[in-house]
Amino acid sequence: MTAMASFPVRRQDFEFNEVPRHWVDNDPFMTAMFNALSSMFPNGERFFVDSVRGVRELVSDPVLQKEISAFIGQEAMHAKEHHAFNAGAIDHGFDVVRLEAWTANVLSIIRLPIFNNKRTRLAATVALEHFTGVLSANLLRREDISQTLSPKMQELWLWHCVEENEHKAVAFDVYQKVYGNSAANYLWRMTVMVIATALILGALHVFIAKLMAEDGQLSNLRSWGRGLWKFWGVGGMFTQLVPEYLDYFKPGFHPWDHDTKALLAKWKDRQGLNG
Binding mask 161-200 for Fe ion (x = CB under 5 A): ---x------------------------------------
Single-letter code of the amino acid located at 125: T
83 binds Fe ion (CB under 5 A): no
Q: How far apart are CA 42 and CA 75, in angstroms?
A: 9
Contact range with Fe ion by CB under 5 A, out of 40-48, 87-95, 173-181, 217-225: 40-48
Contact range with Fe ion by CB under 5 A, out of 30-38, 73-81, 173-181, 207-215: 73-81
Count, residues near Fe ion per rule CB under 5 A = 5
Rounded to the nearest 5 degrees, what angle is found at the Cα of 115, between the Cα atoms of 185 and 257? 40
Minimum distance, C-beta of residue 261 to Fe ion, in the bound complex (Å): 17
The count of C-alpha atoms lying within 13 angstroms of the C-alpha of 83, restricted to the half-sphere facing its C-beta, is: 14
Closest CB to Fe ion among residues 164, 214: 164
Minimum distance, C-beta of residue 75 to Fe ion, in the bound complex (Å): 5
Closest CB to Fe ion among residues 22, 78: 78
Contact range with Fe ion by CB under 5 A, out of 50-58, 69-77, 226-234, 247-255: 69-77
Minimum distance, C-beta of residue 14 to Fe ion, in the bound complex (Å): 14
Residues in 44-63 at the binding interface with Fe ion, rule: CB under 5 A: 45
Q: How far apart are CA 178 and CA 78, in angstroms?
A: 26
Closest CB to Fe ion among residues 16, 29: 16
Residues in 89-148 at the binding interface with Fe ion, rule: CB under 5 A: 132
Burial annotation 6-45 (CB, 10 A radius, 16+ → b, else e): ebebeeeebebeebeebbbbebbbbbbbbbbbbbbbbbbb
Contact range with Fe ion by CB under 5 A, out of 8-16, 27-35, 67-75, 179-187: 67-75
Contact range with Fe ion by CB under 5 A, out of 59-67, 72-80, 172-180, 200-208: 72-80
Of 22, 78, 82, 119, the one binding Fe ion (CB under 5 A) is: 78
Q: Where does this chain bind Fe ion (CB under 5 A)?
A: 45, 75, 78, 132, 164
